Structure 1
Amino acid sequence: MDINTLRTIVTVVSFALFIGILVWTWSRRRRAHFDEAAMLPFLEKDGVETAGERK
């Protein structure tokens, strides 16, 4: 196995992983979870300091 074969294998595996992450990210089953996670910075709880706010 020469270096070019190894480079080809790594490129194909990386591309497949990239496509897999895209499919996982945009799947409809995960949408509710990602929407909930997107709102986390905007939730305010009592007794928890937010960034830049000190008592």
Structure 2
Amino acid sequence: MDINTLRGIATLLVLVAFIGITVWAYSSYKKKDFEEAANLPFADEPDDNKAPREQQDARSNKE
């Protein structure tokens, strides 16, 4: 067994791993998890419609 045979085997293993990860990533049962993760940056943003009303309520309570 020479170095080129080992390189060929390593290439095939990497190809199989790549195909496995691709199938896993695009499988339908993980789609919900990925959609939730994609929306995480927006979860902490304040609602722009509530902010002025809350400020107005705070001012009216002080008066």
TM-score bucket of the superposed structures, by smaller chain: 0.7 to 0.9
Structure 1 consecutive aligned stretches of length 4 or more whose deviation exceeds 2 Å: none
Query: May I ask how many residue pairs the two structures share in their alignment?
Result: 46
Query: In the alignment, what sits opposite 2:16?
Result: 16
Q: Which has the higher helix share?
A: 2
| Higher Cα radius of gyration | 2
- Percent identity, please: 50
Is there any run of 5+ residues in structure 2 with no aligned partner, and where?
Answer: 47-63
TM (norm. structure 1) is 0.76
* Larger RCO (CA under 8 A, 6+ residues apart): 1
Is there any run of 5+ residues in structure 1 with no aligned partner, and where?
Answer: 47-55
Give the drift of 1:32. Answer: 0.3
